[in-house]
């Protein structure tokens, strides 16, 4: 599944290129609880089509009512409810408790949107093309007249709103490279797709690739370390080894740790993880700083037993790291398993189907 922002921008580009009137709404401020964070965008076409969201649905419904009535018939055009021409406009929802309830906002929630009317199809096309090429882009909107400028940037940034302009940073889609094409990988790849990641799976073993059944995933038969090199992982990428086979995992992980990938991890027990660290230090002369970046055992501890549950655990940790969330110690796998073993006086804990020493 494609990155949501790119989907919104692509749909808006296509509507405008086809000569349709449309608007883009951006969440620019929130107070209290809000369904969507600052920087979220949606696009609304004159025919009532909507891509993206700025709330749980009620605000979208109100925008459709306000800005698409004229399209439904000339008799309704006199009420002024159409996509207007002119500079951007601010609109605020949830100012009163009654309004917050009517629009489905959480208790005390208020949000403010900036509406841009009929954005340039050419500039939208330029932005989508840059994102498709993997570039991080800033889109600046001059509030006085809606003029837009695009510029590449090196670092992600939060939305910035001043008296004169709005600056929103858009990045290419997040990417996930999975090493090994087993059952766990199928579950994790499916979750990653629905979370907006582009997913690549590599496995030189024909017996595993032959059973692969998840559409929308790029499948490679090359050796994992070669795939990691070609993958060119950046700050919006993660690399996860799932084979349990050092011959496939180690060199690939070594390559991944030399990139800017925001998450690099490998499946396995604490014992396997310790042995892996030892191999990498002894055979590849890795530094303590590089080893520290390698996550393992991976996932948030939820008592996982099945491949599906383990995939949920791993995907949860990936998303937490992506979103800058520091996980409490009692959710980290190694710590949680130690605590569980002590509480239950359990001489061993089951990890990936193998009972290991606590």
Residues 219 and 104 in one domain: no
Q: What pLDDT score was predicted for residue 19? A: 95
Does residue 104 belong to any structural domain of this protein? yes
Compute the chain's Rg from CA coordinates. Answer: 24
Q: Which residues have CB under 8 Å from 116's CB, separation 6+?
A: 23, 24, 25, 26, 88, 141, 146
The CATH number covering residue 228 comes to 3.40.50.720
Tell me the residue range of the domain where 311 lies. Answer: 174-357
CA torsion sign for 188, 191, 193, 197 is negative
If pLDDT is split at 50, 70 and 90, which confidence band does 347 have? Answer: very low
Residues 189 and 296 in one domain: yes
Residues 101 and 246 in one domain: no
Q: What pLDDT score was predicted for residue 352? A: 42
Give the model confidence (pLDDT) of 61-116 as tens digits: 889 988 986 555 544 444 455 789 999 999 998 755 565 556 555 555 688 999 99
Percent of the chain whose predicted confidence (pLDDT) is above 70: 82
Percent of the chain whose predicted confidence (pLDDT) is above 90: 53
Whether the predicted pLDDT of 168 surpasses 90 = yes
Q: What is the largest CA-CA distance in the chain?
A: 79
DSSP string for residues in 131-146: HHTT--EEEEEETTT-
Residues 46 and 121 in one domain: yes
Residues 87 and 205 in one domain: no
Whether the predicted pLDDT of 340 surpasses 70 = no
Query: Which range (149-158, 245-254, 278-287) has the least confidence?
Result: 278-287
Q: What pLDDT score was predicted for residue 75? A: 40
Does residue 131 belong to any structural domain of this protein? no
Q: Say which residue the tokens 């790849």 belong to.
A: 189
Q: Say which residue the tokens 């099945």 belong to.
A: 306
Q: What pLDDT score was predicted for residue 354? A: 38
What tokens appear for 132 in the block? 């498709």
Residues 192 and 75 in one domain: no
> How long is the chain?
358
Contact 144, 173 (CB under 8 A): no
Q: Which residues have CB under 8 Å from 210's CB, separation 6+?
A: none
Work out the average pLDDT over 116-136. Answer: 93
If pLDDT is split at 50, 70 and 90, which confidence band does 344 have? Answer: low
If pLDDT is split at 50, 70 and 90, which confidence band does 146 have? Answer: very high
If pLDDT is split at 50, 70 and 90, which confidence band does 278 have? Answer: confident
If pLDDT is split at 50, 70 and 90, which confidence band does 261 have? Answer: very high
Does residue 353 belong to any structural domain of this protein? yes
Query: Which range (56-60, 343-347, 354-358) has the least confidence?
Result: 354-358
Does residue 195 belong to any structural domain of this protein? yes
Residues 201 and 323 in one domain: yes
Does residue 161 belong to any structural domain of this protein? no
Q: How much is the mean pLDDT over the chain?
A: 84
If pLDDT is split at 50, 70 and 90, which confidence band does 37 have? Answer: confident
Q: Where in 8-49 does DSSP place strands (E)? A: 22-31, 41-45
Residues 232 and 312 in one domain: yes
Query: Which range (125-139, 186-200, 332-346) has the least confidence?
Result: 332-346
Q: What pLDDT score was predicted for residue 178? A: 98
Residues 216 and 281 in one domain: yes
Number of domains, the chain? 2
Residues 120 and 183 in one domain: no
Task: Give the closest residue to 190 by CA, choosing from 296, 307, 352, 324.
Answer: 307
Q: What pLDDT score was predicted for residue 345? A: 56
């Amino acid at each position: 599944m494609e990155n949501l922002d790119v989907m919104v921008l692509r749909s808006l580009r296509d509507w405008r290129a086809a000569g349709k009137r449309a608007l883009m709404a951006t969440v620019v401020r929130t107070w209290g609880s809000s369904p969507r964070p600052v920087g979220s965008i949606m696009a609304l076409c004159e025919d009532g089509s909507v891509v993206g969201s700025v709330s749980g649905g009620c605000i979208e419904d109100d925008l459709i009512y306000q800005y698409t009535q004229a399209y439904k018939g000339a008799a309704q055009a006199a009420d002024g409810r159409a996509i207007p021409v002119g500079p951007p406009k601010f609109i605020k929802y949830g100012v009163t408790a009654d309004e917050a309830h009517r629009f489905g906002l959480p208790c005390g929630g208020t949000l403010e949107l900036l509406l841009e009317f009929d954005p340039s199809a050419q500039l939208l096309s330029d932005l989508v093309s840059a994102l498709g090429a993997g570039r991080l882009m800033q889109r600046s909107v001059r509030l006085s007249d809606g003029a837009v400028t695009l510029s590449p940037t090196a670092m992600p940034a939060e939305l910035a709103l001043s008296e004169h302009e709005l600056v929103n940073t858009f990045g290419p889609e997040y990417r996930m490279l999975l090493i090994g094409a087993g059952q766990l990988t199928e579950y994790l790849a499916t979750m990653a797709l629905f979370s907006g990641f582009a997913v690549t799976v590599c496995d030189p073993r024909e017996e595993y690739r032959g059973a692969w059944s998840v559409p929308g995933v790029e499948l490679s038969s090359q050796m994992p370390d070669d795939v990691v090199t070609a993958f060119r992982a950046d700050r919006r990428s993660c690399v996860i080894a799932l084979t349990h086979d050092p011959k496939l995992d180690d060199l690939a992980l070594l390559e991944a740790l030399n990139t800017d990938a925001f998450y690099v991890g490998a499946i396995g027990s604490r014992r396997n993880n310790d042995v892996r660290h030892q191999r990498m230090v002894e055979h590849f002369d890795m530094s303590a700083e590089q080893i520290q970046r390698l996550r393992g055992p991976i996932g948030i501890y939820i008592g996982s037993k099945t491949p599906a549950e383990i995939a949920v655990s791993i995907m949860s940790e990936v998303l937490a790291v992506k979103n800058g969330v520091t996980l409490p110690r009692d959710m980290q796998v190694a710590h949680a398993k130690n605590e569980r073993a002590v509480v239950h006086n359990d001489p061993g804990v089951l990890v990936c189907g193998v009972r290991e020493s606590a």
